[in-house]
Amino acid sequence: MQKVVKFGGSSLADSNQFKKVKAIIEADSSRSIVVVSALGKRNKHDHKITDLLYLTGAHLKYGVDANQVFNIVKERYYEVKNDLNLDVYLEQEFSQIEDNFSKNIDEEYLVSRGEYLAAKLMASFLGYTFVDAKDLIFFDYDGKINENKTYEALQDILKTTKRIVVPGFYGSYPDGKIHLLSRGGSDVTGSILAKASEASIYENWTDVSGFLVTDPRIVSEPKQIKEISYEELRELSYMGANVLHEDTIFPVQELEIPINVKNTNCPLDPGTIITSNPSDKSQIITGIAGKKDYVSITILKKQKTPKLTVIKQVLDVLVKYNVNVEHMPSSIDSFSLIISSNEINKRLYEVVAEIKALNEVTDVIVEQGIALVAVVGRNMALKPGMSAKLFSIFGKNDINIKVIAQASQELSIIVGVENSQFEKAIKAIYEGLVK
């Protein structure tokens, strides 16, 4: 059975990285469907090609000379081609792109060239067949992937060639125009192709050996996550953990194809395995993530009015302003709305004024600067007393809890604290429950 392997930008930053990729692919002959990002940063101060292409597009749009920026892009690709002595006609490719340079250049086409050219180079280097994502990943006009058309196209291609390199991040609309996924979308391309080929595994190669239990900027050298379930990963990425693109899971989850996140620079490290049913029971906590800057709006209602009536009226206001609620803890005569500051942004005062004006509402209290911390772990459900332990850690560390929520299936416990106590809370939970 074949494996789908996706390499991120840092795994393709220069010819040396290309060589590491080749060694990885040649080490296992089942690594036959290869997806690549655009060239990434070679060091901290470098730029990602995708960013440079967006910048090129912005120059063109505003009528500013774009050549200087675009030349940096060209140099990066020429360097890889020349270092590796590849038979790819970059001159032709670049002049075709430059022929489209105008104020009205299609930005999606321009930006997709980063992946397109990376795949051209990689296919030549590996001796694999280049398959343009515009002929493989199909979107409907509403931007949704047309799975059937994509699967049929892949099956057709695999009839004649087994080893392919596909650019990630883009596909095409029914009229053939290029359409980009959102940033980081090559992860999704890999996942779609893993499903379409019914791959045994989807390997996602990056520059770290899998996921860490928590943010290393807050806890120094946190443990690695060995195994994680699809659902846990969703919870963690939703709560701010910087992992795979959030749409990566869906295609592979359906067929229960595991994802293995691996490190191109340390290929023997086992990395993190994402599956439907991880067997590892050794860790109670799988991961800790969180986000700052939530707003809590507490609504106090008249005692005689049924709570449901007021909740409905308040939710109508939120629907009117298109504001999403994260959590809604409640007590007998009041309930709170926990909303991300980004979400409510400039509409906060209008929303609060409308809620205050409701007949059944006696008062509204707004509190800003709340951080939510999510403690995620499939094994927590097996362990009574987890919440008690967690709250005693907060007590011992003098951290005031403002909100508590437990998600269904006991997969996560979410605690709200003041922004200023966010890092302290994560450190304390890690020390108390993970270390």
Q: Which is nearer to ligand ASP, 50 or 172 (CB)?
A: 50
Shortest reach from residue 30's CB to ligand ASP, in Å? 23
Q: Which is nearer to ligand ASP, 187 or 203 (CB)?
A: 187
Contacts with ligand ASP, residue ranges (CB under 6 A): 8-9, 37-38, 48, 50, 114, 168-169, 183-187
Alpha carbons within 13 angstroms on the beta-carbon side of residue 126 total: 30
Q: What is the largest CA-CA distance in the chain?
A: 80
Q: Which is nearer to ligand ASP, 11 or 197 (CB)?
A: 11
DSSP for 211-226, please give it.
-BSS-TTTSSSPPBP-
* Site of tokens 């749009």: 61
Shortest reach from residue 111's CB to ligand ASP, in Å? 8
Enter the tokens of residue 302: 């008249």
Q: Is 89 exposed, middle or buried (0-12, 13-18, 19+ CB in 10 A)?
A: exposed
Shortest reach from residue 29's CB to ligand ASP, in Å? 26
Shortest reach from residue 6's CB to ligand ASP, in Å? 8
Q: Which is nearer to ligand ASP, 38 or 299 (CB)?
A: 38
The answer to whether 271 and 214 are in contact (CB under 8 A) is no
Quote the DSSP letter at residue 144. -
The residue type of 135 is: D
Q: Which is nearer to ligand ASP, 262 or 378 (CB)?
A: 262
Q: Which is nearer to ligand ASP, 37 or 229 (CB)?
A: 37
**Which residue has the CB atom at the shortest distance from ligand ASP?**
186
Shortest reach from residue 141's CB to ligand ASP, in Å? 22
Q: Which is nearer to ligand ASP, 187 or 235 (CB)?
A: 187
CA-based nearest residue to 37, from 122, 151, 136, 144: 122
Q: Which is nearer to ligand ASP, 94 or 169 (CB)?
A: 169
Shortest reach from residue 177's CB to ligand ASP, in Å? 18
Shortest reach from residue 76's CB to ligand ASP, in Å? 13
Enter the tokens of residue 391: 């709250």
Task: Measure Cα distances from 228 to 7, 123, 191, 279, 319 in Å.
Answer: 21, 32, 17, 9, 35
DSSP 3-state of 247:
coil
Shortest reach from residue 36's CB to ligand ASP, in Å? 9
CA distance 164 to 54: 27
Q: What per-residue string of b and e applies to 336-375 under the rule 16 or more CB within 10 Å gives b?
A: bbbbbeebbeeebeebbebbeebeebbebeebeebbbbbb
CA Rg value for the chain: 25
Q: Which is nearer to ligand ASP, 54 or 391 (CB)?
A: 54
Query: What angle do helix axes 15-26 and 107-126 make, rounded to 10 degrees?
Result: 60
The answer to whether 233 and 244 are in contact (CB under 8 A) is yes
DSSP 3-state of 395:
helix
CA distance 137 to 122: 19
Shortest reach from residue 21's CB to ligand ASP, in Å? 14
Q: Which is nearer to ligand ASP, 41 or 149 (CB)?
A: 41
Shortest reach from residue 244's CB to ligand ASP, in Å? 10
